């Protein structure tokens, strides 16, 4: 490893150690507590190495809060704390064969032997989150993250949802045993998860490790359960009785207990075989389903392990041989915009081709606009590119000193580069989106799949695969095209693997959906945030397609009555109102929607006209605290009687029901001359109405 020039004086060294301690503490917090590292692992290791080199040269200056005495960050708030009965320490690192041999020689010297050819176990080092699982009488009792090595977070409820972890051990087992492992997320699952994150308007995870950590450290274990976490078990903590005499034997026992153990783990002998294994893993790394950042080598004999013991924070009997950082420097030539299947606009860096870890890299993700601003990346800059765990190349940093005078600041596009619709970034979102949902070719396929899906129009025989084929063959381009397929029955029948019968069946299924309830129609448009519940709310509120259409067009104008009326619908609110307004603001969306509507007979929503109550068709607002009815119950009652319940008082409100301390809504009602009744009057009204 290259060492930087050391400080020349004690004062300079002390100052530098203080600076590095603060810096590492900050990075530790960002990494362990916020799951959002600011530096790469390689950079972090370099800072740590620098600190250690200064401490080695000036041992008297080692600080009480020295980073070399600490492991990771303090536990985050929100979780109960669990103290590890045996500290969870971290490993020393080697970065090349020479450092590995030094490790073996140190161990041999300690044991007073010349031979460095130890029997060892090599295990790919997973880039995830270390956890400790404690079993009592074979039952999983509790689980903790590593935390600061001494105390971790109690993630017992969450860990029970992770694959590869038995809740109960099969006999025989020691009365008490602690098993350690690494929780991780596979590369493919990581990519899927990030698409979902962006969909939900959330910041994507920087890498699979952060995704795993962020998923496990959820206060709601149901969120953890929804995330595809796995665990490989790899180490023994405390045990009330010996389980094996070698580490390899221990791994075998773990497998017998039905833990997942990394199948690539292997036994080998001494530095020469370790070197060969390291090289093999380096080559296979990119093809693995999960990230590894090196290989851990452990002296196999547990007797030797206990003789070797620990020095500082790390065992003498194991070492993590890290892969070299896969980084390179190149020029950012341009920033392109990619449009995802859901309309998300992602900036992509176009790079002068450069080899990174044996792969030619010409593109790198820039995640989003904020990321570009945060790293101050400009077109023309010389940048450091990294293949982060082999997933997607990313830009680590900019070499500002090499910035040319004509470097250009990136300007986010106002229009979708694929379809030309206006692109917007709504308040509170990190992602800019194309608003041309119905006409943007980048999104068409997903919209068609959605419309035909069981949740929306439910057209039998028009599943995802068929839609994709029909799009490829040019038979489907717009939503309306689905209802033009019956005219193309012949063309369908001659398709590969089809025939007159399947063509006939599809045409029949499509014809059955020409009569469609209004709410299904709204749902079928696939407008963002308009799922089943909201589609139903809209249908009930506006009752007919024609009315909804004209009200939505009017609602495009911010501050219009139609917009406030829309935002005031119970559970719709301003965010969803924004999405609808953006959809209707794009005339070509409206044209595409109209073309679809022209193919259909859209049935008006039935607002319980059968219920001929004093409340049917009325728009009602509740305000203040009700005394005899819970608010949800009151709303449900009003709705059952055919009323629309909204949150805000507008000109369209017919009735305001006031409880105690009614506040501004009651004043507004008085101003607008709207009828105001008490809770008791409301109950009386409800009682006299047929339910």
Question: 65: which 2 tokens?
Answer: 């809060």
Q: Closest distance between Zn ion and the C-beta of residue 442, in Å? A: 6
Q: Closest distance between Zn ion and the C-beta of residue 338, in Å? A: 11
Residue nearer to Zn ion on the CB measure, 41 or 586: 586
H-type helices in 311-434, by residue range? 369-375
Q: Closest distance between Zn ion and the C-beta of residue 25, in Å? A: 45
φ, ψ (nearest 5 deg) of residue 457: -80, -20
Residue nearer to Zn ion on the CB measure, 436 or 659: 436
Nearest-angstrom CA–CA distance, 66 and 28: 13
Residue nearer to Zn ion on the CB measure, 527 or 537: 527
Please name every residue paired with 229 in a beta bridge, in sequence order, or none if there are none.
Answer: 185
Q: Closest distance between Zn ion and the C-beta of residue 589, in Å? A: 10
Residue 347's SS3 state is: strand
Residue 389's SS3 state is: helix
Residue nearer to Zn ion on the CB measure, 419 or 462: 419
Q: Is there a catalytic annotation at residue 125? A: yes
- Whether 675 and 656 have beta carbons less than 8 Å apart is answered as yes
Q: Closest distance between Zn ion and the C-beta of residue 434, in Å? A: 3
Residue nearer to Zn ion on the CB measure, 84 or 528: 528
Closest alpha carbon to 376 in 423, 328, 332, 429: 332
- Whether 481 and 475 have beta carbons less than 8 Å apart is answered as yes
Residue 400's SS3 state is: helix
CA atoms within 13 A on the CB side of 34: 11
> Which of 125, 187, 322, 644 does the annotation list as catalytic?
125
Q: Closest distance between Zn ion and the C-beta of residue 419, in Å? A: 3
Q: Closest distance between Zn ion and the C-beta of residue 591, in Å? A: 15
Binding mask 40-59 for Zn ion (x = CB under 5 A): --------------------
585 is a contact residue toward Zn ion (CB under 5 A): no
Please name every residue paired with 121 in a beta bridge, in sequence order, or none if there are none.
Answer: 267, 298
CA dihedral 227, 233, 239, 241 (to 10 degrees): 130
Number of residues located near Zn ion, criterion CB under 5 A: 7
- Whether 351 and 363 have beta carbons less than 8 Å apart is answered as yes
CA dihedral 445, 448, 449, 451 (to 10 degrees): 160
CA dihedral 47, 51, 52, 55 (to 10 degrees): 170
Secondary element (H or E) of residue 222? helix 221-226
Residue nearer to Zn ion on the CB measure, 253 or 592: 592
Residue nearer to Zn ion on the CB measure, 183 or 434: 434
Residue nearer to Zn ion on the CB measure, 416 or 605: 416
Residue nearer to Zn ion on the CB measure, 207 or 421: 421
Nearest-angstrom CA–CA distance, 459 and 471: 16
Tell which positions 435-464 bind Zn ion, by CB under 5 A: 436, 440
Question: For residue 629, how many other CB atoms are within 10 A of its CB?
Answer: 19
- How large is the angle between the packed helices 573-585 and 587-598, nearest 10 degrees? 80
- Whether 233 and 259 have beta carbons less than 8 Å apart is answered as yes
Computed from CA positions of residues 582, 585, 586, 588, in that sequence, does the dihedral angle turn out positive or negative? positive
Label residue 241 exposed, middle or buried (CB < 10 Å: 0-12, 13-18, 19+).
Answer: exposed
Peptide bond just before 673 cis, omega within 30 deg: no
Question: 196: which 2 tokens?
Answer: 């979902």
Q: Closest distance between Zn ion and the C-beta of residue 441, in Å? A: 7
Binding mask 416-435 for Zn ion (x = CB under 5 A): x-xx-x------------x-
Q: Closest distance between Zn ion and the C-beta of residue 339, in Å? A: 5
Label residue 563 exposed, middle or buried (CB < 10 Å: 0-12, 13-18, 19+).
Answer: buried
Residues labelled catalytic:
125
| Interacting residues with Zn ion (CB under 5 A) | 416, 418-419, 421, 434, 436, 440
């Amino acid at each position: 490893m290259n060492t930087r020039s050391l400080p020349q004086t004690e004062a300079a060294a002390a100052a530098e150690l203080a600076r590095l301690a603060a810096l590492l503490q900050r990075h530790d917090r960002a990494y362990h507590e916020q799951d959002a590292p600011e530096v790469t692992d390689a950079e972090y290791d370099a800072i740590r190495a620098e600190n250690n080199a200064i401490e080695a040269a000036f041992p008297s200056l080692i600080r009480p809060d020295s980073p070399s005495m600490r492991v990771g960050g303090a536990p985050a708030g929100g979780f109960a704390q669990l103290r590890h009965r045996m500290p969870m320490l971290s490993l020393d690192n080697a970065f090349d064969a020479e450092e590995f041999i030094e490790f073996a020689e140190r161990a041999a010297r300690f044991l007073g032997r010349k031979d460095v050819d130890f029997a060892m176990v090599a295990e790919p080092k997973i880039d995830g989150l270390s956890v400790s699982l404690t079993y009592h009488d074979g039952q999983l009792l509790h689980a903790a993250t590593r935390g600061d090595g001494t105390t971790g977070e109690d993630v017992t409820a969450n860990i029970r949802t992770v694959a590869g972890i038995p809740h109960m051990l099969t006999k025989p087992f020691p009365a008490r045993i602690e098993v350690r492992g690494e929780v991780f997320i596979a590369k493919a699952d990581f990519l899927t998860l990030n698409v979902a994150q962006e969909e939900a308007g959330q910041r994507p995870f920087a890498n699979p490790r952060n995704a795993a950590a962020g998923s496990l450290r959820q206060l709601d274990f149901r969120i953890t359960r929804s995330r595809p976490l796995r665990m490989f078990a790899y180490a023994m903590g405390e045990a009330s009785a010996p389980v094996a005499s070698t580490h390899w034997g221990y791994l075998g026992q773990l497998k017998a207990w039905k833990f997942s153990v990394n199948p690539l783990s292997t036994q080998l002998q001494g530095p020469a075989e370790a070197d060969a294994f390291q090289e093999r893993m380096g080559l296979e790394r990119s093809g693995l389903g999960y990230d590894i950042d090196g290989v851990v080598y452990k002296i196999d004999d547990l007797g030797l392990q206990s003789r070797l013991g620990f020095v500082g924070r790390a065992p003498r009997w194991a070492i993590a041989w890290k892969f070299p950082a896969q980084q390179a420097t190149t020029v950012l030539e341009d920033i392109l915009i990619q449009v995802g299947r859901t309309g998300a606009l992602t900036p992509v860096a176009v790079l002068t081709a450069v080899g990174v870890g044996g792969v030619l890299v010409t593109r790198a993700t820039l995640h989003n606009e904020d990321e570009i601003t945060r790293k101050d990346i400009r077109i023309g800059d010389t940048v450091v590119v990294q293949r982060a765990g082999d997933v997607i190349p990313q830009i680590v940093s900019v070499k500002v000193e090499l910035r040319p005078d004509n470097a250009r600041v990136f300007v986010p596009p106002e229009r979708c580069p694929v379809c030309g619709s206006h692109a917007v970034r709504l308040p509170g979102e990190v992602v800019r989106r194309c608003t041309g949902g119905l006409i943007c070719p980048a999104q068409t396929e997903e919209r068609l799949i959605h419309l035909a899906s069981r949740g929306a129009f439910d057209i039998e025989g028009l599943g995802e695969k068929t839609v994709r084929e029909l799009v490829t063959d040019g038979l489907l381009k717009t939503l309306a095209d689905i209802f033009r397929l019956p005219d193309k029955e012949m063309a369908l029948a001659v398709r590969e693997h089809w025939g007159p019968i399947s063509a006939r069946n599809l045409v029949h299924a499509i014809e059955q959906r020409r009569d469609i309830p209004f709410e299904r129609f709204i749902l079928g448009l696939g407008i963002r945030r308009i799922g089943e519940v909201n589609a139903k709310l809209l249908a009930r509120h506006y009752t007919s397609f024609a009315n909804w259409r004209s009200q939505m067009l009017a609602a495009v104008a911010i501050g219009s009555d139609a917009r406030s009326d829309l935002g005031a619908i119970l559970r719709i609110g301003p965010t969803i109102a924004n999405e609808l307004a953006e959809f209707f603001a794009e005339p070509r969306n409206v044209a595409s929607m109209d073309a679809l509507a022209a193919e259909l007979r859209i049935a008006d929503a039935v607002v319980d006209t059968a219920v001929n109550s004093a409340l049917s068709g009325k728009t009602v607002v509740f305000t203040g605290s009700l005394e005899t009815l819970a608010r949800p119950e009151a709303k449900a009652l009003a709705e059952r009687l055919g009323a629309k319940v909204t949150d805000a008082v507008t000109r369209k409100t017919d009735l305001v029901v006031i409880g105690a301390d009614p506040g501004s809504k009651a004043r507004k009602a008085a101003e607008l001359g709207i009828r105001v009744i008490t809770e008791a009057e409301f109950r009386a009204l409800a009682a006299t109405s047929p339910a």
